């Protein structure tokens, strides 16, 4: 049963549309996926779930599915070929294409589990840098995992408070996304807990927190920079009122997009997604430009110290498709590949923030041998032909992803790159009668076949 105060609020907002809205909330949530550009679309197994007519109108990469498959048992999901995401959230891609250059430095402040960060990293490609931050510790690991699987090296995952970005990186970001923690009304049909936890005082508490988050991080945005604010709730207190707070109290202009009417999106001070008007969950998104005249206390990122010797550099670079685009950061044991054009900024992040991952892990030195890291196998930069590749069938691929022992008949001994439908899943060491499974234990899937 929907809370009565919620129905009252929605009645004021929707008038004669209330019944259609309540009816939509009683129906199952829409299932949709967004494809990675790791592979040509037609090669993707996920296309078997859908058909081209089911494309989501406001994105080039999103598709509706007619049913919910057991995603966990699809190796392509674990290989980062697609992300299971609500269709409404994919509207971010449309906003980015309209307002955000591909060579921007972007902060995704409330990023876990990473759905919108995968859109941001795909938009920026190899020209920009994304800092994906999550303040809640238990949630930051899944964010890092999802970003590594997505496979772009243009992302740094951090675990810091909003104010730290304003203090340590003033006027550094060209764009910020604040996908704020909210009362979650738009998730009512996906998540029963959202209904149980709903109350009018909670809306006020969420709005207070949203203002604090925005005020605390605001100075990190460059004058003239783009702020994208979003929630998955319907009430105006957490949506239009917060957008107006950004505009008036922090100092920004609200921006508008051209939206075809047939998409069913409602324009207020932002863009509203209602489940009775379109196929997607509840979402609100607004876009603002920080006043160009805003006071800016910018920071000079110190340049990197003179280039140090990199052990086994030519071997490590031979694993990369564009070796010149990567700065190799080497500690005694590990080598990480960072986007060369942002190496100073990433080093600064390492020094002043809690970084969980940056770029992608390239290798671990054990004894005298460089062992490729799992993150390399997920990366779009991987040169697969540098490794001996073994194609797996579905049951063996799933055993590998469960971090179980597998055996590879007729495969060469030593390090092998395992693939499923030609997409890399990770590395293993073939000993002969069995394999050492090198899949990250903390990522392993935990459900059986049926």
Question: Is residue 116 a contact residue for ligand SAM (CB under 6 A)?
Answer: yes
The distance of closest approach from Cβ of residue 281 to ligand SAM in the complex, given in angstroms and rounded to an integer, is 12
Question: Is residue 214 a contact residue for ligand SAM (CB under 6 A)?
Answer: no
The CA distance from 329 to 390, in Å, is 30
Question: Is residue 110 a contact residue for ligand SAM (CB under 6 A)?
Answer: yes
Tokens of 181: 């923690």
Helix ranges restricted to H, 233-303: 240-245
Residue at shortest CB range from ligand SAM: 110
For ligand SAM, the closer of residues 283 and 435 by Cβ is: 283
In sign, the C-alpha dihedral spanning 345, 347, 350, 351 is negative
Q: Which helix (H) or strand (E) holds 158?
A: strand 155-158
Question: Is residue 209 a contact residue for ligand SAM (CB under 6 A)?
Answer: yes
22 is catalytic: no
Question: Is residue 115 a contact residue for ligand SAM (CB under 6 A)?
Answer: yes
Question: Is residue 134 a contact residue for ligand SAM (CB under 6 A)?
Answer: yes
The CA distance from 381 to 325, in Å, is 10
Tokens of 272: 């509203």
The distance of closest approach from Cβ of residue 231 to ligand SAM in the complex, given in angstroms and rounded to an integer, is 7
Q: Across 292-400, where does the E strand assignment appear?
A: 326-330, 334-339, 355-358, 360-366, 369-372, 388-391
Given 232, 355, 388, 435, the catalytic residue: 232
Q: Which residues, listed in sequence order, are joined to residue 372 by a DSSP beta bridge? A: 363
Question: Is residue 105 a contact residue for ligand SAM (CB under 6 A)?
Answer: no
Q: How many residues are listed for the chain in this entry?
A: 450
Tell which residue, 13, 93, 20, has the closest CA to residue 285: 93
Contact with ligand SAM (CB under 6 A) among 14, 95, 130, 135: 135
For ligand SAM, the closer of residues 135 and 172 by Cβ is: 135
Question: Is residue 190 a contact residue for ligand SAM (CB under 6 A)?
Answer: no
Write the binding mask 162 to 181 for ligand SAM: x where contact by CB under 6 A, - elsewhere. Answer: x----------------x-x
Phi-psi group of 375: left, alpha or beta (phi > 0 → left; psi -120 to 50 → alpha; rest → beta): alpha
Phi-psi group of 434: left, alpha or beta (phi > 0 → left; psi -120 to 50 → alpha; rest → beta): beta
- Please answer whether residues 54 and 63 qualify as being in contact, where contact means their C-beta atoms are separated by less than 8 angstroms: yes
The CA distance from 333 to 350, in Å, is 17
- Please answer whether residues 156 and 251 qualify as being in contact, where contact means their C-beta atoms are separated by less than 8 angstroms: no
Tell which residue, 277, 336, 337, has the closest CA to residue 87: 277
Tokens of 210: 């949203």
For ligand SAM, the closer of residues 115 and 153 by Cβ is: 115
For ligand SAM, the closer of residues 133 and 419 by Cβ is: 133
For ligand SAM, the closer of residues 83 and 420 by Cβ is: 83
The distance of closest approach from Cβ of residue 397 to ligand SAM in the complex, given in angstroms and rounded to an integer, is 26
Question: Is residue 227 a contact residue for ligand SAM (CB under 6 A)?
Answer: no
Question: Is residue 62 a contact residue for ligand SAM (CB under 6 A)?
Answer: no
Contact with ligand SAM (CB under 6 A) among 41, 97, 127, 139: 139
- Please answer whether residues 187 and 118 qualify as being in contact, where contact means their C-beta atoms are separated by less than 8 angstroms: no
> Contacts with ligand SAM in 313-342 (CB under 6 A)?
none
Q: Which residues, listed in sequence order, are joined to residue 430 by a DSSP beta bridge? A: 414, 435
Q: With CB under 6 A, what is the number of residues at the site for ligand SAM?
A: 16
**Which stretch, 133-141, 390-398, 404-412, 428-436, contacts ligand SAM (CB under 6 A)?**
133-141
**Which stretch, 96-104, 114-122, 288-296, 324-332, contacts ligand SAM (CB under 6 A)?**
114-122
For ligand SAM, the closer of residues 186 and 339 by Cβ is: 186
Question: Is residue 136 a contact residue for ligand SAM (CB under 6 A)?
Answer: yes
Q: Which residues, listed in sequence order, are joined to residue 370 by a DSSP beta bridge? A: 365
Q: Going by C-beta distance under 8 Å and a sequence separation of 6 or more, which residues neighbour residue 190? A: 29, 86, 281
| Residues forming the site for ligand SAM (CB under 6 A) | 110-116, 134-136, 139, 162, 179, 181, 209, 213
Catalytic residue annotation: 232
């Amino acid at each position: 049963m929907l809370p009565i105060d919620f129905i009252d609020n929605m009645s004021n907002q929707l008038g004669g549309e209330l019944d259609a809205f309540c009816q939509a909330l009683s129906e199952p949530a829409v299932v949709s996926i967004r494809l990675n550009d790791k592979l040509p679309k037609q090669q993707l197994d996920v296309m078997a779930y859908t058909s081209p007519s089911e494309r989501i109108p406001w994105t080039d990469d999103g598709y509706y599915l007619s049913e919910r498959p057991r995603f966990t048992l699809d190796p392509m999901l674990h290989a980062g070929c697609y992300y299971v995401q609500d269709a409404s959230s994919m509207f971010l891609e449309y906003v980015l294409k309209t307002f955000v250059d591909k060579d921007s430095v972007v902060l995704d402040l409330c990023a876990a589990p990473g759905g919108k960060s995968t859109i941001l990293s795909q938009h920026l490609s190899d020209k920009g840098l994304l800092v994906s931050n999550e303040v809640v510790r238990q949630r930051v690991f899944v964010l890092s995992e999802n970003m590594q699987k997505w496979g772009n090296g243009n992302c740094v995952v951090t675990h810091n408070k909003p104010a730290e970005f304003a203090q340590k990186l003033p006027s550094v970001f060209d764009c910020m996304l604040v996908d704020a923690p909210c009362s979650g009304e738009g998730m009512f049909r996906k998540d029963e807990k959202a209904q149980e936890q709903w109350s009018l005082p909670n809306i006020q508490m969420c709005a207070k927190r949203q203002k604090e988050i925005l005020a605390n991080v605001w100075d990190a945005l460059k004058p003239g920079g783009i702020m994208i604010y979003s929630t998955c709730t319907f009430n105006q207190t957490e949506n239009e009122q917060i957008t107006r707070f950004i505009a008036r109290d922090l100092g920004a202009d609200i921006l508008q997009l051209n939206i075809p009417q047939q998409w069913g999106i409602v324009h207020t001070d932002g863009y509203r997604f209602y489940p009775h008007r379109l196929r997607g969950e509840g979402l609100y998104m607004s876009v603002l430009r920080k006043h160009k005249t805003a006071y800016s206390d910018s920071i000079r990122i110190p340049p990197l110290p003179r280039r140090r010797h990199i052990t086994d550099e030519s071997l490590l670079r031979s694993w990369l498709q564009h070796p010149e685009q990567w700065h190799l950061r080497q500690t005694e044991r590990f080598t990480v590949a960072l986007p060369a054009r942002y190496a100073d900024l990433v080093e600064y992040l390492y020094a002043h923030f809690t970084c969980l991952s940056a770029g992608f892990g390239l290798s671990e030195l054990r004894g005298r041998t460089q062992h490729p890291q799992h993150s390399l196998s997920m990366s779009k930069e991987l040169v697969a032909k540098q490794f001996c590749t073994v194609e797996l069938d579905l049951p063996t691929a799933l055993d590998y992803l469960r971090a179980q022992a597998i055996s590879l008949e007729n495969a060469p001994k030593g390090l092998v790159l395992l693939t499923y439908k030609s997409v890399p899943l990770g590395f293993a060491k073939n000993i002969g009668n069995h394999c050492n499974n090198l899949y990250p234990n903390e990522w392993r899937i935990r459900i059986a076949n049926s």
